[in-house]
A = this chain, B = another copy of it.
Amino acid sequence: MPLALRKDTLNGDPESLHQPLLSSQRSIVNSTSQVAIVGSNVSPIESLDYEIIENEFFKQDWRSRGASQIFQYIFMKWLLCFLIGFIVSLIAFCNNLAVENLAGIKFVITSNMMLERRFLLAFAVFFASNLGLTIFSAVITALIAPAATGSGIPEVKAYLNGVDAPGIFTVRTLFVKIIGSITAVSSSLLIGKAGPMVHTGACVASLLGQGGSKRYGLTWKWLRFFKNDRDRRDLVMCGSAAGIAAAFRAPVGGVLFALEEMTSWWRSALLWRAFFTTAIVAIVLRAMIDVCLSGKCGLFGKGGLIMFDVYSASISYHLAEVPLVFILGVIGGILGSLYNFMLSKVLRVYNFINEKGTICKIVLACVISIFTSFLLFGLPWFASCQPCPLDAAEPCPTIGRSGNFKKFQCPPDHYNDLASLIFNTNDDAIRNLFSRDTNEEFQYSSMFIFFITCFFLSIFSYGVVAPAGLFVPVIVTGASYGRFVGMLVGKRTNLHHGLYAVLGAASFLGGSMRTTVSLCVIMLELTNNLLLLPLIMMVLLVSKTVADAFNANIYDLIMKAKGFPYLETHAEPYMRQLTVGDVVTGPLQMFNGIEKVRNIMFILKTTRHNGFPVIDEPPLSEAPVLSGLILRDHLVTLLKNKVFFPTPRAIGDDVFKKFTSDDFAKKGSNKGEKIEDIQLTEEEMEMFIDLHPFTNTSPYTVVETMSLGKALTLFREVGLRHLLVIPKITGRSPVVGILTRHDFMPEHILGVHPLLIFLCGQGLHIHEYTVPSFMKVLMGRITFGTYENLAMLYPQVTCPSIIDPHMYSG
C-alpha cells in the first residue's frame, strides 16, 4: 500500500507533497492585514465564505429537499426581512423617544433655572448630567462591548465585503449600541444616531439570520434556516438599509445608501427585498407617529424622528442662482475633504490613547464631555441679545420646550440666537437652520461661531469610546456653513436662508460621505421638497468632484485606518504588471483524497489556513489531479464525528446517513468548533478519512501566469475566499498555491516586491495608511542600492508614468 507507506514518512520528508512548492524565498506566511481595529480594540479577523461549496454532500442535500422545505426557505427570507424592518423601526422609534425625552428634560430644567437667573446651578446640572450620561455610555461600551464604539458603518461595510470581525453582531453589541447611543446623544456630545442605527439594523439582521444568540439562550429553531454566509450577508444588507430608513424616515434613501455605500455585491432580487424591508419601516414608523401625535410621548413632539420638513409650495429659482450654488458646492467639497483629513488624523491619535487601556478610553470620553459642556454653555454668553421679532410665529422667547428663540441670559422680549442653535439638541438646531421666513433671526457672528464649533467639536467627539454617528454632525455643520453663506449673499438672492442651509448640508455631506444618488434622495425625503432636486443634484456633484481630488470618503478612510482588508473593485494598474505567481506565498498545505487522520490533525493544528486543496494521487488516479478544496470547518466536523476507516477506502453512500446538513452549516462568527477541542486516541490517529464527498469539486482556479489584476477581478466579482493557482506547465503538482484576500492587499504585494515602490515612484497609488507598515517591510529587506540594480532584478515590472485607478477598470 504505497499511499499509507508514503504518508508515514511525511513529517520529516523534504520531498513530500506537503512541502512548499514555491521557491524558498517566498515561503513566508502572509500575515499582513490579519488583524484590524474593531470598534476600539484590535482583533483578529477572518474572511467570510460567500462561495457556494459544491460538494457531493451539498448537492445530495439539495436534491433531497421537498417542496415544503423550499417554500419554507423562501418564506423565511421574506419573513426575516419583515421582522428586520419591524424590529429596527421599533428600536429607532424608542431611541428617538428616549433621546428627545432625556435631552429635552435636561434642557427644560436648565432653561428654567436660567429663567430664574440661577446660572451657576444651571451649569452644574447641565455639566453633571452630560458627564454622567457620557461616563455611563463610555463605561458600558468599553467594558461590555468595545465593538460598539463609533458608527459601525465601516465594520458593516467591511462585513458586506467579506471581512468577518469578531463581536460586531452579538447581543451585547446590539444592547450597548442602543443604550450607549441613547445616552451618548443625550449627553450633548456632537455625535449622531444614524450610523449606530445602521449598525443596529445590521446587528438585528445578523442575529435573526443566525437564529438568535446561543450564549443567552435566545435561540429559535425555526429561525435557524440560513446556514451560510451568503444568505446572512443579504440579510445584513437589508438590515443596514432599514437602519438608514429608520434614522431619517427615508425608505428609498435607505435602500440607495445600502446599495451605493454599504454593499459590495448587488442583485436586482436583493434590491427588491431591501425595498420591502424599508417599506415595512416606513409603515411602522408612520403608525407609531400616529400614536404619538395624540401627545402621549412626552417631549417627543410633533416633528418626531429626524424630519426637517422645510416645505414651501413655490420655490422659484433661476439660472442666476446657479453660479452661487456652484461656489457653495466647491467650498463645501473643500471643507468636506478637510473634515475627512482632520477626522482621520484625530482618530489616529485617539487610537494611541485607546490602546493604553480601558481607563484611558473613559478618561478621554470624560475630557471631551467636559470640554463640550463648557463650550455649549459658555459660547452663548459672547452673543449679543436680539429683540424678539414682532411677527414671530411662535412665542418669543420660547419657554419650557425647545424652539427657535432661547432666552438664555437675555432680558425679557429678547433672545440669544447663538443659544438657540448651540444650547439645543442637534435635531432642533438643524430644524432652526432649515426653517424658512427666519432670514433676520441669526447674526453673522453667531452663525460663524456655531459653524466653527460644530466643525471642530464633531471631529473631536467621533472617536470617543461610545456609539457615535457622523451623519447628524456633518448635516449640522454643513447647514450652518450654508446658512452663513446665505446670510453673506443677503438680499441678492431669491432663495431664503433655510434653503441655503439645506444646500450647505448637501454640499458638506457630498464632500465628506461622497455618495450622490442616495444622499440626494435622503435630502429630498428629509426636507420633503422635490422642487429642490436639480439644485441638490448639482451641489452634490460639485462637492463630491472637488473633494475626490483630495482624499477618499470618510468611511473608507476610517476603514483603512482600522486596517480592514477591504477588496476594491478596481485593480490597481501595477497589478496588471504582476502575475499571480509573483504574489502567492507558501507553504502550501494539501491533503490526499483519502488522508490519514494524523496528518489532518497535524496540519490543522500547525497552520491557520481555512481551505486546503485535495489531491488525488496514484493509485487513486493516473496522475496527481486536483480533486477540489476542503474547508477547515468541514474537516473539524469530520474529525469530531470520527468516521474513520482502518484502511484507506472510499466512504460510499454511508456519508448521507452519518451526517446531516446541519453538521456542515456555517456557524456564526467565532462560534465554530476548534481543532484544539478534539481529542483522538493514538489508534484513531492512524486511521483514514475519505474527504471526497466533502470536497468542493468546483473551486475557481487561475493559471500562475494570469495577471494579478484579472485574478483580482475574478476574486472580487465572484466573491471568493480562496482562489487556487494552477501551474502553467504540466507535470508539476496540480496546484501551486492559494490566493486569499490578503494576497491582494497593497501591503502584501509591496512586501513581496518591495522594489515596486522605487520603480513605480510617485505614481504608485499607495493608501496613506499602508505606507508605514510597508516601510517596515521595506527597511528590513533591502540591502542593496541603486535604481538600476533594482530594475535589473525586476525587469518585468514597468509602471505607467501616471496611474489612474479608474483607467483600466473604467
Residues of B within 8 A of A794 (CB): none
Which of B70, B541, B621 is the one whose CB lies under 8 Å from A804?
A: B70
Choose the segment among A116-124, A279-287, A736-744 that binds chain B (4+ C-beta atoms closer than 8 Å): A279-287
| Chain B nearest CB, measured from A246 CB (Å) | 13
Complex CA–CA separation, A260 to B268 (angstroms)? 6
Which of B252, B577, B623, B806 is the one whose CB lies under 8 Å from A730?
A: B623
Instruction: Report, as a range, how many residues of chain A touch the other chain.
Output: 35 or more
Flag whether A184 is at the interface (Cβ < 8 A): no
Q: What number of copies of this chain does the assembly contain?
A: 2
> Which of A255, A520, A710, A808 is packed against the most chain B CB atoms within 10 Å?
A710
Which of B516, B534, B621 is the one whose CB lies under 8 Å from A271?
A: B516
- B718 touching A698, Cβ below 8 Å: no
| Chain B nearest CB, measured from A735 CB (Å) | 11
- A800 touching B252, Cβ below 8 Å: no
> Which of A282, A538, A717, A810 is packed against the most chain B CB atoms within 10 Å?
A810
- B73 touching A230, Cβ below 8 Å: no
Flag whether A492 is at the interface (Cβ < 8 A): no
Task: Annotate A59-93 by CB proximity to B: 1 below 8 A, 0 otherwise.
Answer: 10011011100100110000000000000000000
Choose the segment among A521-529, A606-614, A785-793 that binds chain B (4+ C-beta atoms closer than 8 Å): A521-529
Task: Annotate A599-610 by CB proximity to B: 1 below 8 A, 0 otherwise.
Answer: 000000000000
Flag whether A649 is at the interface (Cβ < 8 A): no
- B537 touching A279, Cβ below 8 Å: yes
Residues of B within 8 A of A697 (CB): 705, 707
Which of B256, B269, B698, B807 is the one whose CB lies under 8 Å from A70?
A: B807
Given A517-B255, A521-B521, decide whether A576 and B730 contact each other with a Cβ distance below 8 A.
no
Residues of B within 8 A of A728 (CB): 625-626
Which of B272, B569, B622 is the one whose CB lies under 8 Å from A544?
A: B272
Which of B269, B311, B538 is the one whose CB lies under 8 Å from A283?
A: B538
Within 8 A of B (CB), among A696-735: 697-698, 700-703, 705-707, 709-710, 713-714, 717-718, 726, 728-731, 734
Closest to A621 in B: B729
- A710 touching B703, Cβ below 8 Å: no
Flag whether A660 is at the interface (Cβ < 8 A): no
- B283 touching A534, Cβ below 8 Å: yes
Complex CA–CA separation, A71 to B633 (angstroms)? 49
Given A67-B802, A517-B252, A707-B698, decide whether A279 and B541 contact each other with a Cβ distance below 8 A.
yes
Complex CA–CA separation, A66 to B282 (angstroms)? 52
Flag whether A530 is at the interface (Cβ < 8 A): yes
- B537 touching A282, Cβ below 8 Å: yes
A interface, CB within 8 angstroms of B? 52, 54, 59, 62-63, 65-67, 70, 73-74, 230-231, 234, 251-252, 255-256, 260, 266-272, 275-276, 278-279, 282-283, 286-287, 290, 311, 313, 318-319, 322, 516-517, 520-521, 524-525, 528-531, 533-534, 537-538, 541, 544, 569, 573, 576-577, 621-623, 625-626, 697-698, 700-703, 705-707, 709-710, 713-714, 717-718, 726, 728-731, 734, 798-802, 804, 806-810
Can you name 11 A-B pairs with beta carbons within 8 Å? Answer: A67-B801, A251-B533, A267-B569, A275-B541, A283-B322, A311-B313, A313-B313, A529-B530, A530-B530, A717-B717, A717-B718
Seed contacts A623-B730, A698-B705, A703-B726; 17 additional CB < 8 Å A-B pairs: A66-B802, A70-B807, A74-B806, A74-B807, A256-B256, A256-B517, A260-B268, A270-B810, A275-B520, A279-B538, A283-B538, A524-B530, A529-B530, A625-B730, A714-B714, A714-B718, A717-B718
